[in-house]
């Protein structure tokens, strides 16, 4: 760990704002549930979440999450530690199910609603999920793989279910019959969420004692050498990261104000889940859920209605908003915090954002395995500087070479992390755990970084071959395995290439077995088996893939093509 010689303290402490403590109390709460219940008591009558004009107060949230927890415990008879999958976009039903699962003492398994049947089947089987709460729009996908999953119960919901009648009927009818957004499906025995809440309400909720070692989330992230892995995030991990980010940000948010954060990023993604879904709930804020952030004109129209004080996003979202008519005319006078993460914020985007809004776009760094935040730009000097900031309180970093030795100051090395927010390991993947943790307990991030004399970190390369598309991890092995299933492909390799809109895009190099094979056929095949952000944007056919003398494909050489 880089230290100052005089004080033997990390050099980055000198960059800490005076209001920020260098360490946090990881025992501030016994569990995420303790934190939530304190928030419910302190902010009972405030609006916690709002979606499509429908508010949900902290009192509503307290009541509904107890009802759902009671259903899981009393009606289904599930036990502490059982895994419950959630497959929904940003809707009011998401926090109800999320917090209900946690209050039942069970583990949340977040699933991307856009997953293909293959991806969904793998995650359900690997996690051993006993139940799933799923938006009806995605039930056709689940139906295709249901016999191959361990599910005991399927709880379904429609977009407007938590709206008052007759608005709920109008929303659901419009979605299903006018816009035809619900593909046909038929799964016998499903339980509507509203029925589950009613049945749970009829029986007493049993509060369980939870501790720091109990698992709160199995948060799946891509695998470098195969399928995705579930990062085991305990209640202690989540509480610690919430305390770290709260210590960093709360001094720069106005006190005695009911903050409003716009949540356009999906809550099933670790960045929005922790920052928007938990940190701002801890602060008693109002969370404006955006169900379809791809509709940028609608997002701008929604933002126009509110005096929002915080906003989080990824580079592509910021860039897209600034190119949407009407964005420049929004009222940014109440905006106090803009957080960028998921992927690097480009200088041009950050500078243009500040020019339009008058507010700096501050950048942080994290990864699923760290719950997720590791470092953040000091908020007393938030302007873009090309770094990922300095380590958060109670977080240690070390830059190491391939021999696990610390590199000399100013030299690039693999960024390794220690702290109370670091995961316990990957779910049922002991070999992967041995590969990602050093013998002395540091988590290897796979990112190559440098640290300057003040403690600012800069990512200069990725040791692993992960591709970042709009903040989402894409792993070449998965793409290559799918492309290789095409009969016309002899062999293939996948790399990331720069892209103005998404940061990086997926490119596949393939050697033909069938001369008639086309790039369009490769992309069509991938669309059937991969989530949209994983589908190759570019396909190039070559006669031979570059390899080492032992036959390993040299992706590095392909990146230069």
SS (H, E, C) 70-108: HHHHHHCCCCCCCEEEEECCCCCHHHHHHHHHHHCCCEE
User: What are residue 192's DSSP bridge partners?
Assistant: 156
Ramachandran class of 478: left when φ > 0, alpha when ψ lies in -120 to 50, beta otherwise: alpha
81: left (phi over 0), alpha (psi -120 to 50) or beta: left
pLDDT digits (tens, 9 = 90+) for 440-488: 999 999 998 999 999 999 988 777 778 889 988 787 878 988 998 899 9
pLDDT at 551: 55
CB burial of residue 308 (10 Å; 0-12, 13-18, 19+):
buried
For the cut 70, the answer to whether the pLDDT of residue 127 exceeds it is yes
**Angle 279-221-417 from CA coordinates, rounded to 5°:** 65
pLDDT grade for 272, boundaries at 50, 70 and 90: very high
- CB atoms under 10 Å from CB of 359, counted, come to 16
Percent of the chain with pLDDT over 70: 97
How would residue 4 be classed by pLDDT, with cut points 50, 70 and 90?
very low
Query: In this prediction, what percent of the chain has a pLDDT beyond 90?
Result: 82
* pLDDT > 50? residue 506: yes
The whole-number pLDDT of residue 207 equals 96
Q: What is the mean pLDDT of residues 185-200?
A: 98
pLDDT digits (tens, 9 = 90+) for 341-387: 887 788 888 999 999 999 999 999 999 999 999 999 999 998 888 89
Query: CA-CA-CA-CA torsion for 496, 497, 501, 502, nearest 10 degrees?
Result: 10
Q: What is the pLDDT of residues 196-243, one digit of tens each?
A: 999 999 999 999 999 999 999 999 985 434 568 999 999 999 999 999
Average pLDDT, the chain: 93
- Give pLDDT, residue 6: 38
Average pLDDT over residues 300-327: 94
Please give the residue that has the higher pLDDT: either 1 or 257. Answer: 257
User: Has residue 548 got a pLDDT over 70?
Assistant: no
Tokens of 209: 């004692």
Q: SS3 for 310-343, per residue?
A: EEEECHHHHHHHHCCCCHHHCCCCCCCEEEECCC
Q: Which tokens hold the place of 485? A: 């299933």
DSSP 3: B
């Amino acid at each position: 760990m880089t230290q100052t010689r005089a004080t033997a303290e990390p050099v980055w402490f000198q960059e800490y704002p005076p209001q920020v403590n260098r360490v946090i109390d990881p025992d501030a709460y016994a569990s995420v549930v303790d934190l939530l219940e304190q928030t419910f008591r302190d902010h009972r009558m405030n609006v916690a979440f709002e979606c499509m004009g429908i508010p949900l107060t902290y009192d509503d949230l307290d009541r509904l999450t107890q009802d759902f927890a009671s259903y899981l415990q009393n009606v289904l008879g599930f036990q502490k530690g059982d895994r419950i999958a959630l497959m929904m976009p940003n809707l009011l039903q998401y926090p109800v199910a999320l917090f209900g699962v946690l209050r039942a003492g069970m583990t949340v398994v977040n699933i991307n609603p856009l997953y293909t049947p293959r991806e969904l089947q793998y995650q359900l089987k690997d996690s051993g999920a006993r139940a799933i709460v799923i938006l009806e729009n995605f039930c056709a996908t689940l139906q295709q793989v249901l016999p191959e999953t361990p599910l005991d119960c399927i709880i379904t919901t429609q977009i407007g279910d938590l709206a008052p009648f007759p608005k709920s009927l109008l929303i659901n009818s419009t979605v299903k019959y006018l816009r035809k957004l619900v593909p046909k499906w038929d799964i016998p025995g499903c339980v509507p969420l509203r029925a589950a809440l009613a049945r749970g309400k009829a029986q007493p909720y049993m509060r369980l004692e939870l501790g720091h070692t109990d698992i709160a989330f199995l948060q799946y992230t891509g695998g470098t050498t195969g399928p995705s892995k579930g990062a085991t995030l305990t209640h202690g991990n989540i509480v610690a990261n919430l305390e770290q980010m709260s210590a960093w940000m709360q001094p720069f948010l106005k006190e005695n104000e009911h903050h409003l954060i716009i949540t356009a990023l999906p809550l099933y993604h670790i960045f929005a889940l922790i920052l928007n879904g938990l940190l701002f709930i801890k602060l008693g804020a109002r969370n404006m859920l955006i169900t379809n952030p791809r509709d940028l004109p609608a997002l701008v129209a929604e933002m126009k209605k509110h005096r929002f004080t915080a906003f989080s996003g990824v580079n592509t979202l910021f860039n897209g908003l600034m190119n949407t008519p009407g964005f420049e005319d929004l009222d940014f006078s109440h905006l106090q915090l803009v957080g960028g993460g998921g992927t690097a914020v480009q200088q041009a985007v950050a500078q243009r954002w500040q020019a339009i809004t008058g507010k700096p776009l501050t950048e942080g760094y994290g990864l699923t395995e760290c719950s997720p935040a590791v470092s953040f730009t000091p908020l007393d000097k938030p302007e873009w500087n090309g770094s990922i900031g300095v380590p958060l309180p109670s977080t240690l970093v070390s830059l190491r070479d391939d021999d696990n030795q610390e590199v000399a100051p100013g030299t690039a090395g693999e960024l390794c992390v220690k702290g109370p927010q670091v995961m316990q390991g990957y779910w049922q993947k002991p070999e992967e755990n041995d590969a990602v943790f050093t013998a002395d307990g540091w988590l290897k991030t796979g990112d190559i970084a440098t640290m300057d004399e003040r403690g600012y970190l800069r990512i200069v390369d990725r040791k692993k071959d992960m591709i970042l598309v709009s903040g989402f991890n894409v792993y070449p092995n998965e793409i290559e395995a799918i492309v290789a299933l095409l009969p016309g492909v002899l062999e293939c390799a996948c790399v990331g290439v720069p892209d103005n809109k998404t940061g990086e895009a997926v490119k596949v190099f393939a050697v033909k077995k069938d001369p008639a094979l086309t790039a369009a056929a490769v992309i069509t095949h991938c669309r059937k088996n991969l989530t949209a952000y994983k589908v190759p944007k570019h396909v190039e056919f070559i006669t031979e893939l570059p390899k080492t003398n032992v036959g390993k494909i040299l992706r590095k050489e392909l990146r230069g093509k």
